[in-house]
Amino acid sequence: MAINFDDYTCEFCGKPCKNIVYAAFVCDNPECIENARIARGGPGGHMKRKAEGRPIIPEDLESAVEENKKV
């Protein structure tokens, strides 16, 4: 199934989405692409978190995951 980029906006500036980079919907602006890289933790950011003994789940979602475990 193909993704229709017209259904999404850039997660950082709100312009129309043109790419998916570092697991984020972004426009063509290099600053937004860099923001996506930083938000992800850079290339392999999830593996870096795992190596540090931290959960792979992004910090902003950790509380939601903990709440679901309690249910």
Domain borders along the chain are 5-70
Give the pLDDT confidence of 15-64 residue by residue, as tens digits. 999 999 988 999 999 999 999 988 887 767 777 777 888 777 766 666 77
Rounded Cα distance, 68 and 65, in Å: 5
| φ and ψ at residue 28, rounded to 5 degrees | -90, 0
Q: Is the pLDDT of residue 6 over 70?
A: yes
| Amino acid 58: pLDDT | 64
